[in-house]
Every structure is written in structure tokens, then in C-alpha cells.
């Protein structure tokens, strides 16, 4: 927070503000997002909680996006430094987590849950961080010009991939698979219109055959366990897996909260304190609680909808829609350097892992996830501004 205050003071005193951001759709979306969170504080059920929540989001965006954008714009080497510092820090956490896990069993499902504590709250946020960083490490391996560095960073990529595997975070596994799928689609240069049409057909098919699909899902009784095969099968178990059922409970409560206050919500950051009365008896599980001490809505989107209304969720989605569009356009430029293209593509894939993960969990109130999520956006916007300026100079 102190660093953010210094940035604000410097911006006012020296005219340090980067004016090129004012016309960038990603930054405009961020301003709308923050503005609506601020507005939603007024009718909040718990104003103090909402004010603290707003300042945390403002702090993260101010430091991890705005300050990072300034540093990245001034010197491209700062991008590599920023990302490598995070990677080295995460490697230490991985080694620490593995040593704790190995004291029980390296492939112990139960031991993985709290192995990364106190650095991460549990294995799900730890897995999300690994899924976010893996595309960048792979890009550094691709960009390495010295052979031994290429092999070393490639080995590091495999090491972190193994760490993700034994984290037993199913959402992180799925998010990385989705990220790799998006990477293939981008490399194949599939048109955005085709993707939208395909997605619309998929949604239509789901609603057409939803009864059959739900019947099939409810037949799966495989619970999460240390057996990797069973753990994967448990991803779509909505009949007996407590983790999956509790997610449904939280989502249903969030939707009911949203339906009651669709415009402003109940107040930013208030879900965990107010959702208990909205739980339905038939949704409750063995891990359900009425004391607001067991987490959030398990969805960035539903959490925002219940806490700050539909406009905040639209703004949040708008941010990543614009960043993906600008990022994909950027890597398709003929004048972009190969190394820059690889880094931007890795940031896109990393963001996609969390965009998908955000349907199942919400970790953007944690600095370790926010540092990468907003930091990746700063990287893409910095490169976008740089190459747009280059085009304008060439035109002149």
C-alpha cells in the first residue's frame, strides 16, 4: 500500500501518469470495474468490509498493473526481471512444499492440501499459481539462445509441471489443459468468429441434452483421492464428492443473493459473511458452515455478481475480453519480434488458465495470484502500446 501511495504522489507531482493508457480499452475497463466497486460500497450491508475490499483491489491494480506497466514501458528487461523474481520465489515454495509432502508421501492427496502453507492458503491457490507461471517458463525456454540455458529452463518447466501434478488441484489441472487448447487454436489461427459460433453451438447442445448430461454426471460416484486416475474422474462427480457439492452449494447461494440484489449486490467482499441464510438444506454438505469462516463463492464471476451486482461482473469480463483481443492482435503483427511474441502468447495462455479457473475458485484477493494476473495484463498492454507507437512513427 505504501508503494501505491508513492506512485500516486509521484504521478501528481511530476505528471508521471501514462496518458496513453486513457485511450486503451483494457485500462478503461479497469477504471469502470473499480468505479462500480466504489459505487457498490454505498448500499453495502457491511461498509467497512467493502471499503477494505475496494482498497485491496485498488492497491493490486495500482501496483501490479499500473506501476508494472510503467516499469515495463521504460525498459523491456524489467519484464524478464519481474517474471523471473516470481519464478525463483515460487521454486523455493515448491521445494518447501515437496519436502513437507514427502515426509508423509510425495503422492499423498491429503498431505498436498496444506503442504504449501503458509505461503498459499491451500493446494488450490498453489496449483493456480503453478498453472499461471508454467506458460511463461516454457516461453523463456523457447527464447533461450544458449543451449545449456534452453535445457535448464526446459527441465525447470517439467519440474514445475510435476509440482502441479502432485498438488492434486483438479481446477488447476483443468485450467492448464484449457490454456494449452487455446494455445493450439491461436497457433492454428482459428478465427474469433468461428470460436464464438462453436461456443454458441456447444451451449445450445448442453441445454438441449442437459437432462441426459446431468443423469450421466450423477452416476459418477468416484471421490477425490491419491489415485491420479480416480482423482481425475472425481472432477465431474456431483453426486458424492464433498468438494464439488460444496461448490454447487456456494454457487446456488451466490445466485440467490444476486437475484435479490442484481444491480449493486450486498457489498464488495461481503459474500462469506452473508451467504449462510441463502443456503438450501438439500445443498448443504459435510463441509458446509453458517459461520462465514470457510471461504468465498468459489467463483470470481458469481462472487462479483452477488457482492457488487451484474455491472461489476460485466466489467471484470470486459477486462479480460479486451486484453485477449489486443493480445491476439499483437502476436499476429508481422513486425513483432519472435521473443516478444512468445512472451505475449505465454501471458495470454497464462491468463486463460486463470480465466477458466475463475469459474471454480476466486483468488484475486491474494497477492500471489494477483501479481501474475494483473502483471500479465501489464506486459501485454506495454507491448501493445510500444508496437502501436512504432507503427505511428513509421507512418509519419
Mean predicted confidence (pLDDT) in 315-334:
92
Run of H or E residues at 40: helix 25-41
Q: Is residue 352 part of a domain?
A: yes
Q: Is residue 219 part of a domain?
A: no
Backbone angles phi, psi at 363, to 5 degrees: -125, 10
Residue pLDDT, tens place only, 240-265: 566 778 888 899 999 999 999 999 99
Q: Is the whole model's pTM more than 0.95, yes or no?
A: no
**CA quadruple 61, 66, 67, 68: dihedral, nearest 10:** 90
Question: What does 227-293 look like in DSSP terms, one character per residue?
Answer: SHHHHHHGGG--SS-HHHHHHHHHHHHHHHHHHHSTTT-S-TT-HHHH-GGG--GGG--TT--SSS-
Q: Is residue 79 part of a domain?
A: yes
By residue range, what is the domain housing residue 386? Answer: 2-197+299-395
Q: What is the pLDDT of residue 215?
A: 47
Residue pLDDT, tens place only, 289-310: 776 566 788 899 999 999 999 9
Q: Is residue 78 part of a domain?
A: yes
Q: How many domains does the chain have?
A: 1
Q: What is the pLDDT of residue 14?
A: 59
Q: Is residue 387 part of a domain?
A: yes
Q: Is residue 100 part of a domain?
A: yes
Q: Is 309 left (phi over 0), alpha (psi -120 to 50) or beta?
A: left
Return the percentage of the chain with pLDDT > 70, whole number: 83
Q: Tell me what the pLDDT averaged over the chain comes to.
A: 85
Is pLDDT larger for residue 157 or for residue 118? 157
Ranges 33-42, 56-65, 68-77, 202-211: which has the least confidence: 202-211
Q: Is residue 262 part of a domain?
A: no
Give yes or no for residue 266 having a pLDDT over 60.
yes
Q: Is residue 229 part of a domain?
A: no
Mean predicted confidence (pLDDT) in 32-49:
96
Cβ–Cβ under 8 Å, residues 242 and 249: no
Distance CA 228, CA 168 (A): 8
Amino acid at each position: 500500500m505504501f508503494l501505491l501511495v508513492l506512485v500516486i504522489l509521484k504521478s501528481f507531482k511530476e505528471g508521471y501518469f501514462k496518458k496513453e493508457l486513457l485511450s486503451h480499452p483494457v485500462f478503461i475497463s479497469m477504471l469502470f470495474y473499480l468505479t462500480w466497486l466504489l459505487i457498490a460500497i454505498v448500499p453495502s450491508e457491511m461498509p467497512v468490509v467493502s471499503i477494505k475490499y475496494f482498497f485491496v483491489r485498488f492497491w493490486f491494480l495500482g501496483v501490479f498493473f499500473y506501476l508494472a506497466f510503467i516499469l515495463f514501458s521504460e525498459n523491456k528487461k524489467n519484464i524478464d526481471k519481474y517474471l523471473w523474481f516470481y519464478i525463483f520465489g515460487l521454486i523455493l515454495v515448491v521445494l518447501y512444499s515437496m519436502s513437507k509432502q514427502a515426509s508423509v508421501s510425495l503422492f499423498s492427496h491429503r498431505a498436498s492440501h496444506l503442504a504449501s502453507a503458509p505461503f498459499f492458503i491451500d493446494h488450490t491457490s498453489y496449483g493456480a499459481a503453478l498453472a499461471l507461471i508454467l506458460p511463461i517458463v516454457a516461453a523463456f525456454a523457447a527464447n533461450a539462445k544458449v543451449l545449456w540455458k534452453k535445457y535448464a529452463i526446459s527441465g525447470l518447466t517439467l519440474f514445475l509441471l510435476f509440482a502441479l501434478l502432485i498438488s492434486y488441484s483438479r481446477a488447476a489441472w483443468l485450467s492448464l489443459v484449457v490454456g494449452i487448447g487455446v494455445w493450439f487454436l491461436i497457433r492454428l489461427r482459428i478465427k474469433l468468429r468461428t470460436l464464438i459460433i462453436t461456443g454458441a453451438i456447444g451451449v445450445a447442445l448442453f441445454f438441449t441434452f442437459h437432462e441426459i448430461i446431468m443423469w450421466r454426471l450423477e452416476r459418477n460416484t468416484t471421490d477425490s483421492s491419491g489415485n491420479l486416475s480416480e482423482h481425475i474422474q472425481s472432477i465431474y462427480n456431483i453426486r458424492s464428492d464433498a468438494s464439488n457439492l460444496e461448490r454447487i452449494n456456494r454457487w446456488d447461494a451466490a445466485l440467490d443473493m444476486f437475484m435479490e440484489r442484481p444491480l449493486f449486490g450486498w457489498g464488495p467482499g461481503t459474500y462469506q459473511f452473508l451467504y449462510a441464510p441463502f443456503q438450501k438444506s438439500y445443498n448443504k454438505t459435510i463441509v458446509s458452515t453458517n459461520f462465514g469462516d470457510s471461504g468465498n463463492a468459489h467463483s470470481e464471476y458469481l462472487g462479483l455478481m452477488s457482492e457488487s451486482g451484474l455491472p461489476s461482473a460485466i466489467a471484470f469480463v470486459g477486462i479480460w475480453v479486451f486484453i485477449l483481443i489486443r493480445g491476439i492482435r499483437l502476436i499476429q503483427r508481422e513486425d513483432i519480434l519472435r521473443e516478444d511474441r512468445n512472451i505475449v502468447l505465454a501471458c495470454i495462455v497464462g491468463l486463460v488458465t486463470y480465466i477458466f479457473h475463475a469459474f471454480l475458485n476466486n483468488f484475486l484477493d491474494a497477492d500471489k495470484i494477483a501479481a501474475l494476473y494483473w502483471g500479465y495484463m501489464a506486459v501485454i498492454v506495454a507491448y501493445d502500446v510500444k508496437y502501436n507507437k512504432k507503427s505511428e512513427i513509421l507512418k509519419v
